[in-house]
Amino acid sequence: MHQKNQSIKKGAVKKAPVKKALANKSITVKKRTDRAGSTEFKISSMNFQAGGLNCAGRLYLPAGAKKPPVIIMGNGIGLEMGFGLPLFAEEFAKKGYAVFLFDYRYYGESEGEPRHLFFPRRQLKDWAGAVEFVRTLDKIDADRICLWGYSFSGGHVLATAASNNHIKAFIAHMPYMDSLFIFKINGFKKTMKISFTGYKDLLFSITGKEPLNIPIAGKPDEFAIMNTPEASLGYLSLVTSGSDWKNEMPARSMLAASFFRPFKSIARIKCRGLVVRGDKDSITDNDLVDKYFEGKEQFELLKLTCGHFEIFKGEYFKQTVTAELRFLKSVFG
């Protein structure tokens, strides 16, 4: 069950336990076969280093595949690699693609304190570390890498594709484009409240106090980073049942996020890309998405009639996977 959002309180906040990822580079933990019995793949747990910390990852490797292309996947703001991403990873693995999921530092099975700290620049270094690590794996083709991001990590994907020459393609869903749009949908009063709480938490960190956390998703009448009508139910629907994950992050995180403007990286991207966006999305700047990706020969734009959180289920999931498999085939053959 999901915990209800709590109002901000002074004092200590109980730390979430750090989940230790497997230290071995390749340990088979699962083996699955699709319904037709034609495609088998294994899932291995492994770690890589980023910022002096162990970041946890999972490699999906199709059985019998010789040096397959690899898709590197990272999740959106506050989310762990097990939330929604395995649905796509399994579909890709069934079709012969290797997939590498990872948790950012401070999240899930990765190391780092305080838990759920969210600094975009550090997460970009986690992406760079994941790419560097995957390129050392001898069972995949290090020269055929596609990045896959959702929501905030859609922005990470844009920035990483622009800065890394080893990337051959990217897929970005409901990509975070510009922090100024978040200020726009939050309004002045809420933006000031988040900023004040962020500076207070920053002071707490300097003086050695426990983090001052704020909810990530909430209802429209609640104080949270995201509180549009679709945010609370949509965001929490991605969380795996039984998880000890908490709907919160240190407030100072939003001070760092306010300077993240990944749309400025798009002009430097040399590889091909597929961008997915939803007409009913209340969190993504669709106007900016259309401006940079619609009608461009280098990019494909898939427009769905969904909101920000609906690509992980039902017909929208099927449409998205179908488009992505077609795109991947056009890139890698």
pLDDT in tens, 50-76: 999 999 999 999 998 899 999 999 999
Out of 18-22, 259-263, 280-284, 328-332, least confident range: 18-22
- pLDDT above 90 coverage of the chain, percent: 86
pLDDT computed for residue 309 by the predictor: 98
Would you say residue 30 has pLDDT above 90? no
Average pLDDT, integer, range 38-43: 83
Paired with 62 in beta bridges are: 41
Would you say residue 314 has pLDDT above 60? yes
- pLDDT above 70 coverage of the chain, percent: 89
Q: Are 63 and 41 in contact (CB under 8 A)?
A: yes
**What class is the 27-179+262-332 domain?**
alpha beta
Q: Which of 219, 212, 275 is nearest to 249 (CA)?
A: 212
Q: Which two tokens stand for residue 282?
A: 């209340």
Would you say residue 168 has pLDDT above 70? yes
Strand order across the beta sheet in which 272-278 lies: 27-33, 40-50, 53-62, 98-102, 70-74, 145-150, 167-173, 272-278, 299-304
Out of 19-28, 213-222, 289-298, least confident range: 19-28
pLDDT computed for residue 32 by the predictor: 53
Distances (CA, A) of 146 to 68, 109, 201, 226: 12, 23, 37, 29
Would you say residue 2 has pLDDT above 50? no
pLDDT computed for residue 119 by the predictor: 97
Average pLDDT, integer, range 310-321: 98
pLDDT computed for residue 270 by the predictor: 97
pLDDT by residue (tens digit) across 296-308?
Answer: 999 999 999 999 9
Average pLDDT, integer, range 178-185: 91
Band of residue 39 on the pLDDT scale cut at 50, 70, 90: confident
| Average pLDDT of every residue of the chain | 90
pLDDT computed for residue 37 by the predictor: 47
Average pLDDT, integer, range 147-176: 98
Distance from C-alpha of 201 to C-alpha of 77, rounded to nearest angstrom: 19
pLDDT computed for residue 217 by the predictor: 97
